[in-house]
Structure 1
Amino acid sequence: MKKYLCTLCVVVLFQSCAAQSKPNLIDAELETVTTEKLAYYLYFPEDYEKETEREFPILLFLHGGGESGKDLTEIKRNGPPKMIVEGKQFPFLILAPQNPYQKKWWNTRALNQLLDSVVENNRVDKKRIYLTGLSRGGGAAWEMAVQYPEKFAAMAVICGMTPLPYAAWIDKNMPIWVFHGEEDESIPISESETMVNRLKGMGYDVKFTRYPGVGHNSWIQAYKTEELYDWFMRQERKD
């Protein structure tokens, strides 16, 4: 798993539309530039260098709040990066960025720009881009699915806060797998229950795995579920 550092420039356009009847209000337009520095690990499967003509799937992994900050090695504490250190081989690339802010949400615009850059500069199958996250990263995964509905082929979320009012913005053709511990006191399982019920009611393809007696660290069991990675590999965008 290789270590990288990326500085991103995110351009955002703001415009106010003033009512002409009030002369103290004016129409204005301002272009602002935000620079986000994201450190990340990028894992390549064993066959990547051997099969030089083949395009591989990629999994974007978003860690929880406990791994945020400036020490990139913290990412190796949980999820797929931890499994890689322990010797697990995955059949796809894994992009594991670090949220540089211990008490801020993920910058999903910067994440999207980073993902696009990695996809463009490596042999990645654009129809097989997968998404997963745990805890705060799980909430960011839901947000990514809402904001970029045409990007991902499948998503797995572990104990993440959900954007319930915007559930319908998620691509209806993207399979989703949700995991949550029933005794989670940090992010109650009701977050996932309500979201899953809303999505299923609208005809979405959603799997829901509950862990009785498990608290907030349900990602331990979830990422050890071998079927999860087989499930990812079966998914491909049809558009």
Structure 2
Amino acid sequence: MRKKLFNLLLLGATLVLQACAAQSHLVQDELETVTKENLKYYLYYPEDYFSSENTDFGLLLFLHGGGESGRNVEEIKDTGPPKMLAEGKQFPFLILAPQNSHAKKWWNTDAVVQLLDSVVAANRVDKNRIYLTGLSRGGSASWELATQYPEKFAAMAVVCGMTPLPYAHWIDKNMPIWVFHGDQDDVIDVEESDKMVMKLREMGHDVRYTRYKGVGHNAWNKAYTTDSLYTWIAKQKRIN
């Protein structure tokens, strides 16, 4: 059945990211460099997507952590919303879950956005209801995406990610944010979230913060099983 596409549909894409023009004092011709990135990903459709031909849906972009990078793409389903989907939970929006193909590198956020744009263009997605979430390394990438593409996302949820404080100045004040972190995290210190949340609130941002007592780096186990998170996400819509 189509509603089970999450378990069956594994798509691959070769993304041509950017052409960079450069000139030197010795060569007057334009020089071009093309970067390519191969991304594997899962795409989930809500139960009523195919029976509601005139309805546009929201889309949640999920970025996994370092433990699922560069390995079997099936490992994406070990954490976060993909894990819940594999266990049978249904969501009211599409979920795009790419895999970082590099085990020891950060997410290529340019590639992620190009993939996201291609999926949005090929499906009935409401561009004012595109949501972003990520954990650990994917949480850090989420902060980065929010600064580089401040007008793209309607809401963001970050789980135990890290980010430079100056990013706060580039994030859209109209985008609500929910941050999760464990106070016993020995991989990414909880102060990363403490300081960023404080800075954003000082600047007038709408930020929720769930700081788990006695929880280590695996705060995602609690965060992504919080039903109110998805209710909160589904209510958000960009006002342009």
Q: Please state which band the TM-score falls in when normalised by the shorter chain.
A: over 0.9
Q: How does 1:60-139 map to 2 (within 5 A)?
A: 60-139=61-140
* TM, length-normalised to structure 2: 0.94
Please report how far the alpha carbon of residue 12 of structure 1 lies from its aligned counterpart in structure 2 after TM superposition: 3.5
Letter in 2 for 1:92: F
Partner residue of 1:6? 13
Letter in 1 for 2:177: I
How far apart, in 2, do the equivalents of 1:169 and 1:28 lie? 35
How far apart, in 2, do the equivalents of 1:30 and 1:133 lie? 36
Cα deviation, 1:6-42, whole Å, max 9, x if unaligned, reads: 11011142546x8xxxxx7877853211110000000
How far apart, in 2, do the equivalents of 1:111 and 1:103 lie? 17
How far apart, in 1, do the equivalents of 2:92 and 2:120 lie? 16
Letter in 2 for 1:11: Q
Partner residue of 1:157? 158
**1:143–1:163 contact (8 Å) kept in structure 2:** no
Please report how far the alpha carbon of residue 187 of structure 1 lies from its aligned counterpart in structure 2 after TM superposition: 0.1
Letter in 2 for 1:130: Y
Q: CA RMSD in A?
A: 1.4
Partner of 1:82, secondary structure, is helix
Partner of 1:173, secondary structure, is coil
Partner residue of 2:202? 201
Partner residue of 1:143? 144
Quick one: structure 1 residues 51 and 101, their matched pair in 2 at CA, closer, same or farther if it must change by over 3 Å? same
How far apart, in 1, do the equivalents of 2:81 and 2:148 lie? 24
Letter in 2 for 1:7: T
Give the paired residue count: 233
Which structure carries more strand by proportion? 1
Quick one: structure 1 residues 27 and 146, their matched pair in 2 at CA, closer, same or farther if it must change by over 3 Å? farther
Partner of 2:197, secondary structure, is helix
Detail structure 1 runs of 4+ shifted over 3 Å in the superposition: 24-29
Please report how far the alpha carbon of residue 56 of structure 1 lies from its aligned counterpart in structure 2 after TM superposition: 0.3
Please report how far the alpha carbon of residue 165 of structure 1 lies from its aligned counterpart in structure 2 after TM superposition: 1.4
Partner residue of 1:228? 229
Please report how far the alpha carbon of residue 209 of structure 1 lies from its aligned counterpart in structure 2 after TM superposition: 0.3
Letter in 2 for 1:13: C
How far apart, in 2, do the equivalents of 1:29 and 1:15 lie? 6
Unaligned runs of 5+ in 2: 1-5
How far apart, in 2, do the equivalents of 1:27 and 1:106 lie? 34
Partner of 1:171, secondary structure, is coil
Letter in 2 for 1:132: T
Please report how far the alpha carbon of residue 164 of structure 1 lies from its aligned counterpart in structure 2 after TM superposition: 1.3
Letter in 2 for 1:129: I
Letter in 2 for 1:6: A
How far apart, in 1, do the equivalents of 2:28 and 2:223 lie? 51
Please report how far the alpha carbon of residue 162 of structure 1 lies from its aligned counterpart in structure 2 after TM superposition: 1.1
How far apart, in 1, do the equivalents of 2:54 and 2:70 lie? 37
Partner residue of 1:21? none
